[in-house]
């Protein structure tokens, strides 16, 4: 199927219109007319080949929501007209230990959406297993970022047991992932502290997102006062940073969970971990079963991302702004209404 979208051609990351072929809809596939697509920082890392893994032309986009326009003979989960979401992955082997435990994202043969033509495009053809149903109550533009930002913070909160009422969660970096983590944690009845490089984000974080406390990461006095108070921390930071101050914020047995992919790997100091029986872990997005659970949880608690909706031809400016942290808190492209007019 001939499809159009926007692609980066080289490590400048600049996107421009691009035509390509999608496979025909197979028996287990659905075709989705893409309505909205979020701009995750991973799109930016990949567009600029910051991880050295990009193949050009690169069509970004893995926070995809749209309407099902075609279903294969063996499709059971979707019917035409349903709203579907696609996130970080589009395939896996289906038979390994991870796949059997609904942990497709850890399958050695898992296919990242970022390694295919993604959601800054007209449509998508995907095995129904890798799409979730978007409940009707969720506004689609605000739901799009749940498909990556949402599951990437929800999954480690559940797996590492950082989801209990009354626990104290630190969220490092108040960006796309971070602000959704705050929303999930507040819905779960947790105490939330944001640790941020941006003092200008404080008022809104407290007043609108309801965070209980806000620490500026370069303010040693603030960090000192909060030492040893957190059960867990979700680190969403996309740039170079030190993890020692974060380890110090944890209680004994506290857990620091990395989900952000900093452009330079931080040094891990062992002694403060040993002295507090603390743990550093990581987490990549989440499996498909859990992604559906997360979307349903979001619908139940009215959680959507705070977004700035943009037309397709604003995408390069949006990427520049994202690199500077100038977005509250997620750009979402209005694909259906603006892709055509951008040609």
Residues forming contacts to Zn ion in the complex (CB under 5 A) are 40, 42, 92-93, 96, 99, 107, 148
With a CB cutoff of 8 Å and minimum separation 6, the contacts of 228 are 248, 249, 250, 251, 252
48 binds ligand NAP per the rule CB under 6 A: no
**Cβ atoms of residues 127 and 29 within 8 Å:** yes
Indicate whether 173 belongs to the interface with ligand NAP (CB under 6 A): yes
The region of 9-17, 91-99, 169-177, 299-307 touching ligand NAP under the rule CB under 6 A is 169-177
Note whether 241 binds ligand NAP by CB under 6 A: yes
Q: Is 236 in the site for ligand NAP (CB under 6 A)?
A: yes
Nearer of residues 92 and 217 to Zn ion, judged by Cβ = 92
188 neighbors 168 (Cβ within 8 angstroms): no
Give the Cα-Cα-Cα angle 52, 48, 110 (nearest 5 degrees).
50
Alpha-carbon torsion 44, 50, 51, 56, what sign? positive
3-state secondary structure of 98: helix
Question: Which window, 38-46, 247-255, 298-306, 335-343, contacts ligand NAP (CB under 6 A)?
Answer: 38-46
Task: Kindly list the distances between the CA atom of residue 61 and the CA atoms of 124, 297, 331, in Å, as whole numbers in the listed order.
Answer: 11, 23, 11
Per-residue x/- marks for ligand NAP, 193-232, CB under 6 A?
---xxx--x-------------------------------
Considering beta carbons, is residue 94 or 199 the nearer one to Zn ion? Answer: 94
CA–CA separation, 223 and 216 (whole Å): 8
Q: What span, in angstroms and rounded, lies between the C-alpha atoms of 242 and 105?
A: 27
List the one residue from 185, 259, 288, 305 that touches ligand NAP (CB under 6 A). Answer: 259
Residues 267-326 that bind ligand NAP (CB under 6 A): 284-285, 322, 325
Binding partner of residue 198 among Zn ion, ligand NAP, none, CB under 5 to 8 Å per kind? ligand NAP
> What would you report as the CA-atom Rg of the chain, rounded to the nearest whole angstrom?
20
Q: Interface residues with ligand NAP (CB under 6 A)?
A: 40-42, 45, 148-149, 152, 173-178, 196-198, 201, 236-241, 259-261, 284-285, 322, 325
């Amino acid at each position: 199927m001939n499809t159009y979208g926007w692609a980066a051609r080289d490590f400048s990351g600049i996107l421009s219109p691009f035509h390509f072929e999608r496979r025909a809809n197979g028996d287990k596939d659905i075709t989705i007319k893409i309505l909205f697509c979020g701009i995750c920082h991973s799109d930016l890392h990949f567009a600029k080949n910051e991880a050295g893994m990009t193949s050009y032309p690169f069509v970004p986009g893995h926070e995809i929501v749209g309407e099902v326009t075609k279903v294969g003979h063996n499709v059971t989960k979707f019917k035409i007209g349903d709203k579907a979401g696609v996130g970080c992955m589009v395939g896996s082997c289906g038979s390994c230990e991870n796949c059997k435990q609904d942990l497709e994202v850890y399958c050695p043969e898992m296919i990242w959406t970022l390694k295919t033509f993604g959601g800054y495009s007209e449509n998508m053809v995907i095995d129904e297993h890798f799409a979730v149903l978007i409940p009707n109550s969720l506004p689609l533009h605000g739901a799009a970022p749940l498909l990556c930002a949402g599951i990437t913070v929800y999954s480690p909160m559940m797996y590492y047991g950082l989801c209990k009422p009354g626990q104290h969660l630190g969220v490092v970096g108040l960006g796309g992932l971070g602000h959704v983590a705050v929303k999930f944690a507040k819905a779960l009845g947790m105490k939330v502290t944001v640790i941020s490089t941006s003092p200008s984000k404080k008022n809104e974080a407290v007043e609108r997102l309801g965070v209980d406390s806000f620490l500026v990461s370069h303010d040693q006095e603030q960090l000192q006062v909060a030492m040893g108070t957190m059960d867990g921390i979700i680190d969403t930071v996309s740039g170079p940073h030190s993890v020692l101050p974060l380890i110090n914020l944890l209680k004994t047995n506290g857990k620091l969970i990395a989900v952000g992919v900093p452009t330079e790997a931080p040094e891990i100091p062992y002694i403060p971990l040993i002295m507090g029986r603390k743990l550093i872990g990581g987490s990549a997005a989440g499996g498909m079963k859990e992604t559906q659970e997360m979307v349903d949880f979001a619908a139940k608690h009215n959680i959507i991302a705070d977004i700035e909706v943009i037309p397709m031809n604003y995408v390069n400016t949006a990427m520049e702004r994202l690199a500077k942290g100038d977005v509250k808190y997620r750009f979402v492209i209005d694909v259906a209404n603006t892709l055509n007019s951008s040609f």
